[in-house]
Every structure is written in structure tokens, then in C-alpha cells.
Amino acid sequence: MFKQNKQKPWRVSNTDMYIELGTVVLVILLVFLFALGICWVNHSPKMQNVWSGFPLGITGIASAFCEKTKLSNPVRQPVNSFSSVVYLIVAIIILKDRQFYSNTSSNVAIRLYQLLFGVILLYIFVTSFFYHASLIRLARKLDYSGVFAFSLFPILYFSHRWRLVYKSKKRPNKKIRLYDHILLVFLSICVLLSLFIPHGLENKIVFLIILVLFILAFAAEKLSVANTNRMYLMKSGFSVFMALFWFEFDKYKPLCNPDSYFQPHSLWNLFIGIAAFHFYLYIRSEKEPITYSINLI
């Protein structure tokens, strides 16, 4: 996936994206410290039973997850918890992509999407880890809020592009400015979904959001004059499909070994992480002839 280069140490295959050596070292160090931290807290007597006073967010843990769950541990599911590190890795790569930032320094909207997507992935990392570490009710709510944010982000992006196409047809020779409270709307929807979706309906809402996402993606690519690498979008969509398929298939506990360092449920996080990375590559591949900017006030 990464090729070494004398001038720019790590190049993502078949792209113009380079990952600096310092970023690679930082990722490796954080992954190591993350794994070490999980091991340390689970062997610390003072940290035991830290979640005992909180209600569980799921009934029948043994039937829902293959991994052996020790309710006395601060990290009750260490392997599933560790698998959330994929979101941290992708977030760091995105936020430290200085090459893309310098190439789009005059495009506020694209830089905003880069920053927002990186922050969302950091949030998902925290909430996913928190849920599998604690399995408490609050953590489950927060975990789904991360899922909602992730699935709504592409809708935000494609809606923006679709509006640009619509406005450019009405005013083809004028610079377009969108005076939208874009972050406020996005965050409001995420909060409303997280707080008011009844327990048990979260997955259905996510599937509905993803369906809308695919429709908007198709419309944006069909109507937009932007030059994008659609192969990244296809890879991202395929990874999302694999994640959804595995999420359902995992209920039957394939390859289940409760004591293994490999847990099938972790593949959900892996597929979503791959989808996120390729969607970012898709965003950064855009060469938009229409000037689009955002006024957040």
C-alpha cells in the first residue's frame, strides 16, 4: 500500500499522496502505546470494577460478541477495543496531510472537509473504544453518535457539491458563495439522531442514511463537472458494503474463538477504516472548476 520514495518517504500506491516519515513513526508509536495501555490497566488492581456501578448498554453480551468479556476489567473487551485504533490511524494521516493542505490553501471548503473528517474519525476512535471498553449504556449512545457522524459526513459533502452544480447553472459566470451554517446543521442532526432514536432502531436509521448517501453520490457524480477519481469512491462504497455485510454476518459468530487475539467483530472497524481512507482520497482527488466557499457566520 505504501511505497518508499527518496524525497518523500512514504507514497500511497497509485496516488499523489505522500505520508511523511514522522507521521509513520507517530502512528506506530501511538498504536504501541495504545496496546500497552490496555494491557496495563487490565492488570492494575486499582482499576478493577471501575464500570460496576453503570448499567450495561446491551443485554446478552455473550450472545452479541464472540470475545470473552470480563466485566471486572476496565477494558472489558480488549481486542474489540483495540481494533478502534484504525480510526486513529486514518485520522492522523488525514490531519497531517500537509501536501494536500498546501495545494488547497485557497479553498476554505476543501480544507474544512479535511479537518472535519479528521476530527470525526478521532471522535469515532474515542467512542468506539469507550463502548467496547465499558459496554455501558452511555457509551453505546456515544458509539452510535460516531456512526451517525461518519455516515452523515459524505451526505454533507455531496449535498454541498450538488448545490454548487445547481447554483452554477443559474449563475455560470459568477463566483459562488454558500452562506450556510453548515457545521451547525451537521452537528444538530448528529445530536438529534443520537439522543432521540429509540433503542434498537439505530441500525435501521444507519442503513437508511447510507442509502441516501449512495443516491446523493450518484447524483453528484452524474451532474457535477468536477474532475474526481471515482475509483476511490467505488472502493470506499465497496468497503462500506463489506462492513454492513460483516456486521450482519457477525451475528452468527463465524471464526469465533473467545480467547483469540483475532476477533471477527474487529473486521467491522477495519472495513470502515478502509472506507474512510478511500473516501478521503476521493475528496482530495477533486479538481473543481467551480469556486466554492463557506461562510460559517
Q: What is the mean pLDDT of each run of 10 residues along the chain (297 residues)?
A: 51 69 91 97 94 88 87 96 97 85 62 89 97 95 93 87 62 46 76 85 88 83 73 93 90 88 93 95 74 43
Contact 182, 156 (CB under 8 A): yes
CA nearest neighbour of 77 among 119, 124, 139? 139
pLDDT value at position 166? 59
Domains of the chain in sequence order? 2-284 (1.20.1070)
* pLDDT at position 61: 83
Which three cell numbers mark 179?
452562506
The pLDDT of residue 212 is 86
Mind spelling out the 3-state secondary structure of the chain? CEEECCCCCEEECCCCCEECHHHHHHHHHHHHHHHHHHHHHHCCHHHCCCCCCCCECCCCHHHHCCCCCCCCCCCCCHHHHHCCHHHHHHHHHHHCCHHHHHHCCCCHHHHHHHHHHHHHHHHHHHHHHHHHHHCEHHHHHHHHHHHHHHHHHHHHHHHHHHHHHHHHHHCCCCCCCECCCHHHHHHHHHHHHHHHCCCCCHHHHHHHHHHHHHHHHHHHHHHCCCECCHHHHHHHHHHHHHHHHHHHHHHHCCCCCCCCCCCCCHHHHHHHHHHHHHHHHHHHCCECCCCCCECCC
What confidence score (pLDDT) does residue 7 get? 47
Strand positions, DSSP E, the chain = 2-4, 10-12, 18-19
Question: What's the confidence (pLDDT) of residue 293?
Answer: 45
pLDDT value of residue 185: 78
C-alpha cell at 283: 475528496
Query: The pTM is what?
Result: 0.86
CA 257, distance to chain mean position in Å, is 27
Contact residues for 265 (Cβ-Cβ < 8 A; gap 6+): 65, 66, 67, 80, 83, 250
